[in-house]
Chain A
Amino acid sequence: DADVTQTPRNRITKTGKRIMLECSQTKGHDRMYWYRQDPGLGLRLIYYSFDVKDINKGEISDGYSVSRQAQAKFSLSLESAIPNQTALYFCATSDSRDRAVVTQYFGPGTRLLVL
């Protein structure tokens, strides 16, 4: 079983709709992240959470919100989807106890198309 899972894997929605992308992890990590990948732009950080009560904006948080329902679950919401939010979305986790290494572990991604 995958350590970091994302649902759905693919989603098509219409402009103005609210959608939620979900991420679950069994790694026992305390930190979780949401990124989006666009062609030619690499991965950009949307939001990150260091524990259930700690939520922080990343570099491109406008138009998005998140919820950390439990240590193992971190969801990303698009309140009113727009076409330029069409992208590949990745969830990632890391372990703050591993101070020497800042490695993040990624889920398989959700491909979102906003029409």
Chain B
Amino acid sequence: DQQVKQNSPSLSVQEGRISILNCDYTNSMFDYFLWYKKYPAEGPTFLISISSIKDKNEDGRFTVFLNKSAKHLSLHIVPSQPGDSAVYFCAATYGGATNKLIFGTGTLLAVQP
């Protein structure tokens, strides 16, 4: 049973526009959420995170929104750049002592020049 779902395998946007990547989860015990970016032939790199006590976290061009009632989070990239083209994974965890991350299946973002 997939506890963290990314229903869009791919997304294509124009350079300068907004990219919105979505993630849904089923386990209401999750209390921390992360986004990772992965380029080909590299490991995932941490991008941005959000605690369940917040509904928004911003870091430069990247903003993560959390809607707990809908069990939904989204990553907004504004403006999108060609270098943002990568696979984006959302991940969730609960009980900080365990540090166990549950990953979604990833969304391939292509930013067209």
A35–B103 Cα distance when bound, in Å, is: 10
B13-21, B41-49, B63-71, B75-83 - interface stretch:
B41-49
Cβ contact of B43, chosen from A40, A90, A100, cutoff 8 A: A90
What is the predominant secondary structure among interface residues of chain B facing chain A? loop
- B101 at interface (Cβ–Cβ under 8 A)? yes
Q: Which residues of B contact A103 (CB under 8 A)?
A: 34, 46, 49
Cβ–Cβ contact A48 & B105, under 8 A = no
Cβ contact of B100, chosen from A4, A48, A99, A100, cutoff 8 A: A48
Number of B residues with CB within 8 Å of any CB on chain A: 23
Q: Which residues of B contact A15 (CB under 8 A)?
A: none
- A64 at interface (Cβ–Cβ under 8 A)? no
Give residues of chain A (32-56) contacting chain B, Cβ–Cβ below 8 Å: 33, 35, 40-45, 48
Q: Which residues of A contact B6 (CB under 8 A)?
A: 42
Number of A residues with CB within 8 Å of any CB on chain B: 27
Cβ–Cβ contact B104 & A42, under 8 A = yes
Q: Residue-by-residue, is B14-50 near A (CB-CB < 8 Å gives 1, otherwise 0)?
A: 0000000000000000001010100001111110010
Quote the shortest CB–CB distance from B90 to chain A (angstroms).
9
Quote the shortest CB–CB distance from B108 to chain A (angstroms).
11
Q: Taking each of B9, B44, B104, which has the highest tally of chain A beta carbons within 10 Å of its own beta carbon? A: B44
Q: Which residues of B contact A40 (CB under 8 A)?
A: 9, 105
Cβ–Cβ contact A31 & B103, under 8 A = no
Cβ–Cβ contact B45 & A106, under 8 A = yes
- By beta carbon, the residue of chain A nearest B34 is A103
- A96 at interface (Cβ–Cβ under 8 A)? yes
Q: Which residues of A contact B96 (CB under 8 A)?
A: 99-100, 102
- A101 at interface (Cβ–Cβ under 8 A)? yes
Quote the shortest CB–CB distance from B74 to chain A (angstroms).
17
Q: Which residues of A contact B41 (CB under 8 A)?
A: 108-109
Quote the shortest CB–CB distance from A95 to chain B (angstroms).
9
Q: Which residues of A contact B43 (CB under 8 A)?
A: 4, 90, 92, 106-109
Cβ contact of B103, chosen from A42, A94, A109, cutoff 8 A: A42
Q: In the A-B complex, list the 5 residue pairs whose CB atoms are closest, starting with the nearest.
A: A106-B43, A42-B103, A43-B103, A42-B105, A106-B44
